[in-house]
Structure 1
Amino acid sequence: MTTEKTANQRGAARLAAVQALYQMDIGGTALADVLAEYEVYRLGKEVDGDTYLKADPAWFRAIVTGVVKDQKTLDPMIAGAISEGWTLSRLDSTLRAILRAGVLEIVSKPDVPTAVIVTEYVEIATAFFEGEEGKLVHAVLDRIARRERGQPKGN
């Protein structure tokens, strides 16, 4: 039961991190401001009639701060894994946030199984998009995981 609770809180933290990264990308919100807003007013709280899931605040903070700190390393990795003819700047802001967060976890959280990371971020993508974005997230994260973690395809 504790593992499930922790996993659910990490999943909620991943979703909140993607939302926070999107907010920073679109609105230019500063890192400290977005962290404070989510940790004080959103994570596990009701906002405008919507209840945010209880999230692991440390996991949320690690993803958001890690993406901001390592974006100059993450973006070229993502760009190298996207289909030829596409650039990172051509992708939707939400999709960029999903990929950045997913890649950060692949490179900085070796204790988390690749399949968990890929599945969680594909689920986030399919929650936001109705098209092929989930497949794109799966393909990009899988390529990067194989390169970074030395794993065979699909693991």
Structure 2
Amino acid sequence: MSSAKTKARQCAVQALYQWQMTGQNLSAIEGQFQEDQRLKNAQKSYFSDLFHGVPKYLDRIDASMADFVDREVEKIDPVERAILRIGVYELLLKPETPYRVVINEGVELAKSFGADGSHRYVNGVLDKVAQVERKLEIEAKKKKNSM
């Protein structure tokens, strides 16, 4: 049984994929998700935050991962790109969510929606972004574990 936040992330991946592929209006896509009951059991406010937040901060998100991907961000598989964008968004703008949770959720999304082995790619990219964007959190965790 997945949590309401996990369900929100799953729906956000699907909605962002649709947006990336069609360029449709965000509100129209969100409306479809609500009409189809796809947001049932999802934390709707978190879905909305992710779904509207990624396009709002797209340049910053893509720039944060550009050094850690093996091709232009736009050439990454669209499913993996949606998953990575959500993960990087959370790493940048959701400091209340521990970086390990963000990475783990990204890996699980890739296992569910991505191609075979894509979870390893997502894990590697999100881990590298976390090393930069969550440096203080990671160092504090290492210090705590070494005591």
What TM-score range do you get, normalising by the shorter chain?
0.7 to 0.9
Question: Is residue 2:3 matched to residue 1:8?
Answer: yes
Per the alignment, residue 114 of structure 1 pairs with: 99
- Equivalent residue runs for 1:15-94 within 5 Å: 15-41=10-36, 42-44=38-40, 54-83=41-70, 86-94=71-79
How many Å apart are 1:131 and its aligned residue? 2.3
Number of paired residues? 138
Q: TM-score, normalized by length of structure 2?
A: 0.87
| Structure 2 contact 79–114 (Cα < 8 Å) conserved | no
Q: Which runs of 5+ in 1 are unaligned?
A: 45-53
**1 CA distance for matches of 2:34 and 2:45?**
10
RMSD of Structure 2 on Structure 1 (CA) = 1.9
Per-residue deviation at 1:29? 1.4
Give the partner amino acid of 1:30.
Answer: N
Q: Distance in 1 between matches of 2:74 and 2:102?
A: 23
CA deviation after TM superposition for structure 1 residue 132, in Å? 2.3
TM-score for the superposition, normalised by structure 1: 0.82
Cα separation, partners in 2 of 1:56 and 1:139, compared to 1, 3 Å: same
**Deviation at 1:82?**
1.1
Separation of aligned partners in 1, 2:134 and 2:52: 22
Partner Cα separation in structure 2 for residue 129 and residue 140 of structure 1: 15
Q: Percent identity?
A: 33
The reply to whether residue 142 of structure 1 matches residue 127 of structure 2 is yes
